Structure 1
């Protein structure tokens, strides 16, 4: 129905956004607190009111009015879950659009008529709670997809929610008939039936939301704000391994290398095979002059992830620089096999086709880059490139 993603960053610095991990060891409050460095960051970088968990779900008067007018006033004998789904996502009233650029609260997503996967989940949950429905959040087991922002690589996983009266058992199959829950998902290309998931607590979802905010602040270079959000994420769920990974990257950017390594190794204690953390630790060790240790981490990472994200794309880009557009096309097509909805891959494949003189194929790939764009800026960029290709075709 709607495109949805979860975010993580990987490359010289690896961040993970909105992804959960089942079976993580329990972290004590003292152990989590010992990793914080409040004295090295501004405590007022994010207003304390913004860090309150309930603020994520707060409804505005306009949202309450919408619920009354478009859900409660249009019963027509249907259950409230179905009416809510239609009011938010089936009808054209809201005209919501997917936008991965920012993670928004429920109120912000409603006002902007836009949001990423996490934003749409919290907005739907806020309406459901207002209408007296039960809400359960799910971390769906999908292979992550990837995007980049500067020297950060973002990996996108997926969360969704169910509204109703019956709690599905953890790790059962989604989409099976016979219960009273309605699962609302924002991935249009995937059939819910057969997808595995883990039910997560609301506090874990809130922690994921805050970790998203930390990663987005980090991508903007706002380290104090990033720390405030990462700290708040760990206060909500100190067992969320991805939040420690984000915290370690923040410390590395602030120059707190001892602390960065301590936190990354702590995260690996929770999830020993976490490729995001390993991908951050290796360059950190190089930065600290411990090349032999870094190489050992890199070898371990290579065993876990022989072809890291963007590896085929980078080989394709190198082939382009060498003027070998046929090889470039082949490498980028391999990248698209792993992630067919990535707009950057379609963009580069379009450039490879231009180099080969295949202008129809180039226009087709540029159109796909536009269709799969995750932000308004990307849409504008790819739209401009597509117009140029179309204009060239009529000359």
Structure 2
């Protein structure tokens, strides 16, 4: 499940015995409401999970199916079986429950929220889980995003989700499980954290669109709903930095770093911000801490590969992109650039393979259309090459 969090490099959830306890209330001294106009379309947590009349009618159909099969199993089948709701994955935006149902599509967080809304309507107990495996990453222009993975567990009618998982009494709903997901450790998270993730996603998405006012209020809402969600403060700091308020960005990042000193997202942003503010000693210290935790941050080899492409060194470019694919085998852009390097080297078979993988792993309809077009052009070129005398 893709949960966006504004960053420069990947997040690592960690703690330390010497760190202060997580805040129980928002650090409102870090807000600057007067500097940002509040958008009219902000929504409440209740609206995120709200069901439309059409959704309630669909829930009633599931309830009737539950007379034969138990309701948690009936909901599972209604969401998963292709002849039922026919949901599609699309990471272009984070939708509310009603938006995901209407579009029949959403990113994983949207689909978890929609499922939880239906479960609540059916009287089922819900437990949210976050997989504690290493996050994946993606980018949009100059912004990089860390992506965690969450799923949910549905209990049987009238029963709480058991502490020890029992397939006869609970069912896991996971819309885009990573390989070996069942073997990965999980941690239970609150609905407040889910809401904070939703708000933080919206902040990231509006920031990509250049809407800093909207991004500020979404990041602020994420913190209000879960003051211990440090990536919300990281996003808020990124808004300040893009708004030109470096001092406020610095205060916000230092607050987050104080509570999560091993978070590589925050560390990288602190090192870059300190350098921009002329604090060379601080920048060097943060970079050294980051290097100790993560010698080769996400996109490190990718950036080297892109530079090699510009230099015309396609062998080096291919080797760099291969290293990124080995670290993140399901990220479409790495496969796309590996295909480009292979094409430049005349290896059409490898180019075709990785263009197909870019298409298969794309997470938005627009990316899928782009890769499908490029794959078609590549195969047309391959056909022409075969016809040459």
**TM-score normalised per structure 2:** 0.92
After superposition, where does 1:257-268 map in structure 2 within 5 Å? 257-268=246-257
Comparing 253-262 with 315-324, greater Cα deviation is found at: 315-324
Say if 2:240 is the partner of 1:251: yes
The aligned counterpart of 2:118 is 127
Say if 2:279 is the partner of 1:285: no
Whole-angstrom distance in 2 between the partners of 1:291 and 1:46:
41
The aligned counterpart of 1:373 is 362
Q: Which runs of 5+ in 1 are unaligned?
A: none
Q: What secondary structure, in the 3-state scheme, does the structure 2 residue paired with 1:51 have?
A: coil
Q: Is the 8 A contact 1:46 1:228 kept in 2?
A: no
Q: Which runs of 4+ in 1 moved over 6 A?
A: 19-24
- Equivalent of 1:33, from 28, 34, 59? 28
Q: 1:175-208, CA deviations, whole angstroms, 9 ceiling, x for partnerless residues?
A: x546622111123442343221111111111111
Q: Residue 239 and residue 39 in structure 1: after superposition, are their counterparts in 2 closer, same or farther (change >3 A)?
A: same
Whole-angstrom distance in 2 between the partners of 1:257 and 1:117:
33
Q: Is the 8 A contact 1:46 1:225 kept in 2?
A: no
Report how far residue 257 of structure 1 moved.
Answer: 1.3
Say if 2:6 is the partner of 1:9: yes
> Would you say how many aligned residue pairs link Structure 1 and Structure 2?
378
The aligned counterpart of 2:90 is 99
Whole-angstrom distance in 2 between the partners of 1:211 and 1:311:
25
Q: Is the 8 A contact 1:245 1:263 kept in 2?
A: yes
Whole-angstrom distance in 2 between the partners of 1:322 and 1:257:
34
Say if 2:224 is the partner of 1:228: no
Q: 1:78-103, CA deviations, whole angstroms, 9 ceiling, x for partnerless residues?
A: 11111101111223332211111100
Q: Is the 8 A contact 1:166 1:179 kept in 2?
A: no
Q: 1:305-343, CA deviations, whole angstroms, 9 ceiling, x for partnerless residues?
A: 100111111222222233332222222111111110000
Q: Is the 8 A contact 2:21 2:259 kept in 1?
A: yes
The aligned counterpart of 1:215 is 204
**TM-score normalised per structure 1:** 0.90
Q: Which runs of 5+ in 2 are unaligned?
A: 385-389
Say if 2:313 is the partner of 1:324: yes
Whole-angstrom distance in 2 between the partners of 1:239 and 1:306:
27
The aligned counterpart of 1:337 is 326
Q: Is the 8 A contact 1:22 1:198 kept in 2?
A: no
